[in-house]
Amino acid sequence: MSFRNLITFVFLVICLCTVQILLLKNVALFGVAFCFIYLLAILSFPINIRSFSLILISFGIGLLIDVFYDTLGLNAAAATLLAFLRPYWLKAISPNGGYDDSNNPTLREMGIGWYISYSLPLVFAFSLMFFTADQWGTGGLFGVLNKSLFSSIFTVILAIIVQLLFFKRRRGI
Amino acid sequence: MLRILQFLYSLRSFLLFVLLEVLAISLIVSNNSPQGAAFFNSSNAVTGSILKTRSDVVDFFSLAEDNEALLSQNALLLEQLKTINAIPDSVTLELDSAFEAQYTFRGARIISNSLRFSQNHITLNKGSKDGVKPGMGVFNEQGVVGRVQSVSDNYSVAFSLLNTEMRISSKLKSNGSFGSINWDGKDSKKTKLLYVPRHVKASPGDTIVTNGFSAVFPEGIMVGTIESVDQSSDPNSLDIVVNLSVDFSKVHYVYLVENSRLAEIDSLQKQSEIENEF
């Protein structure tokens, strides 16, 4: 990762976390669709990033969100799961001929069909972990599934919109 | 030996994943225990100041509403003051310990609030410098809001009433039979009153207030009104759904109440080995 890319990603993480903390805390469409836009940062790291560092970074970001939300551990646990699953899922859905070295898993580079099949299951896994941990012993399975499904759809839609608006072609932000 | 190390090295990301998950889950557990003092939360100085700046901006838009609420509270208090103020006559009343104030009140502003999770917390802009202590009750003019969990120098974090771990000892205002308010994690406008025996007459519209058993809240602070009473699930107690009187999406200013005899009551109960779950 070049220095320029590094700065870009630090900036991206800071921006998304700020938005998540200050604006999206109590946003829940119809009481079920939460938005975890900061996952866009974890999803946008380069394809060839080492799994080890990705897991560490995700844990850190999740913990940061948790400290502001007073949900200590929830986001961290779920984001770590997402980071752990990401390389396997990337391998599973790799296009014919594999990825280019310079590929970033973003909407502009990979196209909308690929992006949805990439992000939706990962965000769903995140939400499932998040709401299972959150409602442990209180809510039923249906509530958890319901919230996870709609939250992941809402998050992916918002992530696509953010990328269309703010991501330049071939340049990160 | 080298083989084992190589094997472990090839599994390093999985091992890191497991380690961090265990760490995160232990954090979740320690943060949600009602008595556990959580240090690593939004009451620390940096997060607190960021959240305060945010609420400085956002609260501006609800000033008119807040003023109105304060005004109506003031009017109510003035009215009560009038009835209490003794008219001077020839008899003087010696004040004794029965009239000593048991509760002290403080004001605070909410700088961060959540209502969408099943364990919701509130961050307040007053901390140990202002005399806030863990265990103090939090309420506003509409009713009960929560209880202080942990305190830093300038900020404090409280359990919201919308927290499945939180219980508040309450009673029916009409006939005094008591139960325990416990949120079920579903709707932020409704909660449940548990352990009210089946023979008690409760009907929709009845008022629920705190009963003062828990020594956190004084007696008679509003909690809500009964929405429905059911006899289905539990053979011993009624299934009571309560409409909360506080609109948690709009709380901005709250009062903190401290019971100056809390320590005495606590030690007495410990001495006689009573578990007070509230």
Gyration radius of chain B over CA positions: 23
Contact call for B51 and A68, based on CB within 8 A: yes
Residue A173 pLDDT class (50, 70, 90 cuts): very low
Nearest chain A residue (CA) to B26: A73
Contact call for B25 and A31, based on CB within 8 A: no
Q: Which two tokens stand for residue B216?
A: 């956190």
At residue B14, what is the residue type? F
* φ, ψ at B256 (rounded to 5°): -105, 135
CATH assignment of the domain containing B229:
2.40.10.350
Domain match, B267 and B144 both: yes
Q: How many domains does chain A have?
A: 1
CA B270 to each of CA A128, A151, B214, B263: distance values in angstroms, whole numbers, following the listed order? 42, 46, 14, 10
CA–CA–CA angle B58, B142, B129 (5° rounding) = 60
Place of tokens 């919230």: A147
B1 lies in a domain?
Answer: no
Q: How many domains does chain B have?
A: 2
User: Is the dihedral angle over the CA atoms A128, A133, A135, A139 positive or is it negative?
Assistant: positive
Domain match, B192 and B233 both: yes
CATH assignment of the domain containing B111:
2.40.10.340
Neighbour tally for B228: CB within 10 Å: 13
CA distance B244 to B251: 13
Domain match, B188 and B134 both: no
Contact call for A62 and B123, based on CB within 8 A: no
B278 lies in a domain?
Answer: no
Bridge partners, B181 (sequence order): B168, B193
CA distance B180 to B168: 5
**Alpha-helical regions (H) of chain B:** 2-10, 12-32, 45-59, 63-84, 262-271
**pLDDT given for residue B41 in this prediction:** 67
The shortest C-alpha distance from A169 to chain B (Å) reads 31
Structural domain of A56: 3-166
Contact call for A52 and B54, based on CB within 8 A: no
A55 lies in a domain?
Answer: yes
Q: Which ipTM did the prediction report?
A: 0.79
- The closest CB to that of A77, out of B21, B47, B114, belongs to B21
* Residues of chain A neighbouring B40 (CB-CB closer than 8 A): 67, 72
Is the per-residue pLDDT at A70 higher than 70? yes
Domain match, B140 and B263 both: yes
Structural domain of B261: 45-77+100-164+254-271
Domain match, B139 and B239 both: no
CA A158 to each of CA A152, A153, A165, A173, B7: distance values in angstroms, whole numbers, following the listed order? 10, 9, 11, 16, 41
Contact call for B112 and A68, based on CB within 8 A: yes
B160 lies in a domain?
Answer: yes
A58 lies in a domain?
Answer: yes
Domain match, B58 and B160 both: yes
For residues B258 and B153, is the Cβ–Cβ distance under 8 A? no
Is B107 strand, coil or helix? strand
A140 lies in a domain?
Answer: yes
Is the per-residue pLDDT at A172 higher than 50? no
CA distance B144 to B270: 26
A172 lies in a domain?
Answer: no
pLDDT in tens, A95-139: 777 777 667 788 877 888 888 988 999 999 999 988 888 877 666
Nearest chain A residue (CA) to B160: A70
Domain match, B112 and B57 both: yes
A173 lies in a domain?
Answer: no
Domain match, B70 and B113 both: yes
B249 lies in a domain?
Answer: no
Domain match, B134 and B261 both: yes
For residues B110 and B225, is the Cβ–Cβ distance under 8 A? no
Domain match, B149 and B225 both: no
Q: Is the CB of residue A32 less than 8 Å away from at least one CB of chain B? A: no
**pLDDT given for residue A80 in this prediction:** 92
Nearest chain A residue (CA) to B27: A73
For residues A29 and A150, is the Cβ–Cβ distance under 8 A? yes
For residues A9 and A25, is the Cβ–Cβ distance under 8 A? no
Is the per-residue pLDDT at B184 higher than 80? yes
Per-position b or e across A119-130, b if 16+ CB within 10 A of its CB: bbbbbbbbbbbb
- For chains A and B, CB pairs below 8 A equal 107
**pLDDT given for residue B61 in this prediction:** 82
CATH assignment of the domain containing A74:
1.10.1760
Q: Which of A29, A66, A70 to mutate to test the interface with B (most CBs of B within 10 A)?
A: A70
Is the per-residue pLDDT at B215 higher than 90? no
**pLDDT given for residue B32 in this prediction:** 65
Q: Is the CB of residue A150 less than 8 Å away from at least one CB of chain B? A: no
* Residues of chain B neighbouring A73 (CB-CB closer than 8 A): 23-29, 31
Q: B269 or B122, which is more confident?
A: B122
Q: Is the CB of residue A85 less than 8 Å away from at least one CB of chain B? A: no
B126 lies in a domain?
Answer: yes
Domain match, B258 and B129 both: yes
Q: Which of A22, A30, A65, A72 to mutate to test the interface with B (most CBs of B within 10 A)?
A: A72
CA B175 to each of CA B182, B189, B220, B245: distance values in angstroms, whole numbers, following the listed order? 20, 24, 13, 19
A42 lies in a domain?
Answer: yes
B153 lies in a domain?
Answer: yes
Q: Is the CB of residue A80 less than 8 Å away from at least one CB of chain B? A: yes
Is the per-residue pLDDT at A14 higher than 60? yes
Domain match, B199 and B260 both: no
B178 lies in a domain?
Answer: yes
Residue B26 pLDDT class (50, 70, 90 cuts): confident
B232 lies in a domain?
Answer: yes
